[in-house]
Amino acid sequence: MSKELPVLKVTMLGRFSVSWGEKDIAFKRTTSTKALQLFQILLYTKETGIQRTRLLDYLYSRDELADMANNLRVTSHRLKKMLVDAGLPEYDYIQIKKGVYKWNSPMEVEVDALELKKLIEKSEETEDIRTKMELLTKACRIYKGEFLPELSGEDWALLESVEYKKVYEKALKEVCEYKKAQKEYQSVLELSKSASEIYPFDEWQSVMMEALVAMNRYKEAIQIYEDTAKFFFAELGISPSEKMMEQFKEMSERVSYKPQVLKDIRGGLKEKYEEKGAYYCSLPSFRDTYRLVTRIIERNGQSVYLMLVTLTDGKGRPLENKERLKVLSEELDHTIKCSLRKGDSYTRYSPNQFLILLVGTKQENCPQIYDRITKYFSREHKTWAQYLEYYVSSIVDVEQKKSKITFNGQNDL
C-alpha cells in the first residue's frame, strides 16, 4: 500500500459517497447496481473480507439465477472497470483467497461506519470516564443517518442500519447525560440538534429544549416546541409527548421579560405579517382558544360554532391514500384560510380533518360557510367537492355532550 497516494474516504452513514484526495468519485448512471453493491460490501468488510457463500447471498438471494457464481465473476469484472473509469488507478482491487473475497487497494481506505464502530469498541474498553465520553462524542458526530440508505431493501444492510441506530442513540444518551452533569449545555444542544434533524420524530427536540432552558434561553426553547408540535400535527396528526408538553408548560411559566412600555409589549404580541383570512393555530393553541371562548360565552351568551371538515375517499370513508391525502389536505388548508373571516380560527386535528371555530356565527349561516369552502376547494377540479364532508355544532352542545363531535385520546380538547 503506497503512502504517497491520497486516502480513499468512504461515507456510508446517511448517504453513500467516495472521495479520493480532493476529488469526489462519481459513478456513471449506467453503472451496474450489482457492481456498486459489491463495491460497498467489499469496502465495509475490508478488515476481514467476506466468505463467497455469504457474498452470493448478499448479492443474489432475491434473484432467480441459474449460475450465481458466474454472475459474481461478471460483476467483479464490471466493478474493476467501473473503478478505473471513475478515476482510480488500475489495480487488482478484489483479492480472493480460500473462498474469501477481500478489498485490496494501493491506497489507504477510511470508512465512516467502521470508524464509528472502532470508537464505540474503544470506549467500552476505557475506564476513564472523560476519555470514554470523548470517544463517544466523536462517534456521535460521525453518525449522519441510516447506514447505506439506498440498500435499505437488502436484509443485511437493514440489520446493520438498525444496529447502528441503536448504538448511536445509546452513545448520545450517555454523552448528553454526562455533559448536562458537567453543565456543557451548548455541546448538548449541538448534539441533540443533529439527532433531531436525522430523526425528527424521536423527540430529541426535548433534549434541545432542556439545554436551552438550562442556559436561560426560554424563547428559543418555546419556539422549538411550537415548531415541533406543528411538524408532528402536519406529518402524523398527533401531538408531542406528555413530557414535551409539560416542558412547554414549565417554560411558559418561567419566561422572564424585562419591564417594557405598553408600545413595546404590543409590538411583541402583534402578528409579524398582516394576513387575510382565517387564523391558523397549532392544535395546542387552538385548544387554549377553544377553552377561553367557552368561558367567555358563559358570560355573554355569544353564538359560537365548531365545524369539523373531513377529507374522504369520495364514498364517505376517511381518505388514507398518503399521496392524495397530502395534496388534498394542503389545498383544504389553503381553502379554509381564504374562505373564512379574519376572526375565525382553525387547526389541523388529524391527517384528514380540520377544526374551525366560528365566533359570532348563527346556525343558519353554517351551511353557507361550508358551501363557500366546498366551492373554493373545487374551483379548479369540480369532482373534488365529493371528497369533503362536514359536521357542525354549537360549543354549548359540544360541552354538554349533545353533539356528534367528540374528542378522544391525545387530541382531546
Tell me the pLDDT tens digit for each residue of 149-202.
988 888 899 889 989 999 999 999 999 999 999 999 999 999 999 999 999 988
User: What cell does 146 get?
Assistant: 441510516
Cα 64 to chain centroid distance, Å, stands at 36
361 pLDDT above the threshold of 50: yes
Asked if 361 contacts 343 with a C-beta cutoff of 8 angstroms, the reply is no
Residue 238: per-residue pLDDT: 67
Distance CA 194, CA 199 (A): 9
Residue 261: per-residue pLDDT: 46
Tell me the pLDDT band of 259, cut-offs 50, 70 and 90: very low
Flag whether the pTM goes above 0.85: no
Distance CA 266, CA 342 (A): 19
Residue 293: per-residue pLDDT: 87
Distant-in-sequence, close-in-space partners of 318: CB < 8 Å, separation ≥ 6? 310, 311, 312, 352
Q: Residues 106-123: what's their mean pLDDT?
A: 97
What type of residue sits at position 53? T
- SS3 labels along the chain: CCCCCCCEEEECECCCEEEECCEEECCCCCCCHHHHHHHHHHHHCCCCCEEHHHHHHHHHCCCCCCCHHHHHHHHHHHHHHHHHHCCCCCCCCEEEECCEEEECCCCCEEEHHHHHHHHHHHHHHCCCHHHHHHHHHHHHHHCCCCECHHHCCCHHHHHHHHHHHHHHHHHHHHHHHHHHHCCCHHHHHHHHHHHHHHCCCCCCHHHHHHHHHHCCCHHHHHHHHHHHHHHHHHHCCCCCCHHHHHHHHHHHHHCCCCCCCHHHHHHHHCCCCCCCCCEECCHHHHHHHHHHHHHHHHHHCCCEEEEEEEEECCCCCECCCHHHHHHHHHHHHHHHHHHCCCCCEEEEEECCEEEEEEECCCHHHHHHHHHHHHHHHCCCCHHHHHHEEEEEEEHHHHHCCCCCCCCCHHHCC
Q: Residues 42-61: what's their mean pLDDT?
A: 93
Distance CA 220, CA 240 (A): 17
Residues 63-87: tens digit of each pLDDT: 767 688 889 999 999 999 999 999 9
Q: Residues 31-50: what's their mean pLDDT?
A: 91
Q: Is the pLDDT higher at 300 or at 319?
A: 319
Distance CA 126, CA 140 (A): 17
Distance CA 386, CA 244 (A): 38
Closest CA to 317 of 266, 387, 219, 256: 387
304 forms beta bridges with 359
**pLDDT more than 90, % of the chain:** 50
Residue 265: per-residue pLDDT: 47
Highest mean pLDDT among 296-305, 356-365, 396-405: 356-365
**What order of strands is seen across the sheet that includes strand 353-359?**
279-280, 345-350, 353-359, 304-311, 388-394
Distance CA 87, CA 83 (A): 7
Residues 201-211: tens digit of each pLDDT: 888 999 999 99
Give the lowest-confidence range in 112-116, 214-218, 235-239, 327-331.
235-239
Asked if 122 contacts 136 with a C-beta cutoff of 8 angstroms, the reply is no
Tell me the pLDDT band of 408, cut-offs 50, 70 and 90: very low
Distance CA 346, CA 359 (A): 11
409 pLDDT above the threshold of 50: no
292 pLDDT above the threshold of 50: yes
Distant-in-sequence, close-in-space partners of 297: CB < 8 Å, separation ≥ 6? 303, 304, 395, 396
Residue 270: per-residue pLDDT: 58
First to last CA, the chain: 67
CB atoms within 10 A of CB 179: 20
Residue 282: per-residue pLDDT: 84
Q: Is the pLDDT higher at 397 or at 5?
A: 5
101 forms beta bridges with 50, 96
Q: Residues 206-220: what's their mean pLDDT?
A: 93
